[in-house]
Amino acid sequence: MNRKYSHGLVWFRRDLRVDDHAALYHALKACRQVFCVFVFDRDILDALPRADRRVEFIRESLVDLDRQLAELARPHGRSNVGLIVQHARATEALPALARALSVDAVFTNHDDEPQSQARDAVVAKALAADGKAFHSFKDHVVFEREEIMTLGGKPYSVFTPYQNAWLRKVDDFYLKAYPVQRYAPALAARPTACRMAVPALVDIGFAQTNFAKLRIPTGSHGGMQLLDDFMTRIDQYHATRDFPAVRGPSYLGVHLRFGTVSIRRLAAAALQLRDQGNPGASVWLSELIWRDFYAQILSNFPHVAERSFKPAYDAIAWEQEPRASTLFQAWCKGRTGYPLIDAAMAQINQTGYMHNRLRMVTASFLVKDLGIDWRRGEKYFAEQLNDFDLSANNGGWQWASSSGCDAQPYFRIFNPVSQSEKFDADGKFIRKYLPQLAGLSGASLHSPWLATPLELAGAGVRLGDNYPLPIVRHDEARALTLQRYAPVRKSPAG
């Protein structure tokens, strides 16, 4: 087989697997020998708190990836194959490693986040100065960038027609797995100086969190375990996905975020089951398409990373200081006096996960009950969520604030009590995260401030002491929000 390059380097980022991996496939096919690297990028890590569950997930997944590479090479008589792991600034480390290994080209997968685009441009320029090529491939989504456009040649900004176009275009070609194993003999042994184990957390300046206690499955093996479990109950996904106390979701968000599972594998499975009449699979496929939709929104409208998709919504007068910070901190700490909101915030603070229904409800509450700029909530979720993905997180927050593409209307404001009564009727979720309310039942659990003194005393609940009184009244907050959104009510964007 003719090879275009003598030596290549695969740069792993948000794609921590060997199975169905676009960049790895293209590198193995194009090069006689291929090295693999992951960089704990200090430009990203130095901005994080010293204890971060995501760093632990990445670290454990790298151990799994290192093992996968060795297993991939072993049947072909290749030894000392594995992952080179560095802790440095990627813009400096990648060109330096490429020189040290005398590679002709670096292969990686696309990352369309603005910061990542800027980083890749610096790396590509440095490599070009050394006479080395930089190749990047689609891997994180099924369709990206400008692959799906309107008849007028513009990006879609409304989901339903985008989904229809997505479904018309998708076929076996777009969902076919890359046959990485076929080209595995090209995997190269690491130089002696690079044969080091994946560094421990302490070696990169991080401390342990409660990650181990949460028992979150990591790496490709963990992702496949979750997928196998989800496939046994996907037929009920449409009926269970909105109830936080029920095992309804796939829990694959963090694996999609870091690419320990292939989006093509998930979409192919969902599409096949949908075509067999599986209602749960049909709804789940729609969720995967939403993910592609928000990714192409970020790519085609990068201003959303900092501003509203609809410019008119940047004119909204949000709550001012110092009241804004007081309300925001109460929301962050789960001290709003609304049990479902507070339980949801306890969930994200304790686990790094929040149920999707609750992400919508808590976001709506922050923006439309408390009057806080959606960007503050977006940033908090970015800091806390294990599965934080800029495009999806931004899309979700702009949807809740009505400032985004195809967002809920400004006048649609979730009632936190009715949402609680509908989606956690028995209070199982609330009791799990707010044990101080466990003795309440019925309407009192969802609205403790309406409970009688006898009910409160019997449950050991002391409002204003071991559980707060509501920091706002929903009906009053709703009326204020409608006034707050006055600047956009008559605009085309509204």
Amino acid letter for position 451: A
Q: Which of 144, 147, 300, 318 is catalytic?
A: 318
Q: Which of 144, 147, 287, 319 is catalytic?
A: 287
Reply yes or no on whether 287 is catalytic: yes
Reply yes or no on whether 290 is catalytic: yes
Q: Which of 92, 319, 349, 356 is catalytic?
A: 356
DSSP letter assigned to residue 319 = P
Cβ-contact 336, 473 below 8 angstroms: no
3-class DSSP assignment, residue 85: strand
Reply yes or no on whether 284 is catalytic: no
Q: Which of 11, 166, 284, 374 is catalytic?
A: 374
Q: Which of 11, 166, 290, 331 is catalytic?
A: 290
Phi and psi at 33, nearest 5°, equal -140, 140
Q: Which of 378, 397, 399, 455 is catalytic?
A: 397
Place of tokens 């028992």: 215
Query: How many CB atoms are located within 10 Å of the residue 46 CB?
Result: 9
Burial of 158 (0-12, 13-18, 19+ CB in 10 A): exposed
- CA 372 – CA 78 distance, rounded (Å): 57
- CA 467 – CA 450 distance, rounded (Å): 13
Q: How many CA atoms does the CB half-sphere of 316 hold within 13 Å?
A: 32
Reply yes or no on whether 449 is catalytic: no
3-class DSSP assignment, residue 51: coil
- In this structure, what token pair is assigned to residue 359? 């992400």
- CA 173 – CA 237 distance, rounded (Å): 27
Reply yes or no on whether 356 is catalytic: yes
Sign of CA dihedral 138, 311, 402, 158: negative
Query: How many CB atoms are located within 10 Å of the residue 67 CB?
Result: 17
Amino acid letter for position 180: V
3-class DSSP assignment, residue 463: strand
- CA 89 – CA 118 distance, rounded (Å): 13
Reply yes or no on whether 11 is catalytic: no
Q: Which residues form the catalytic set?
A: 287, 290, 318, 356, 374, 397
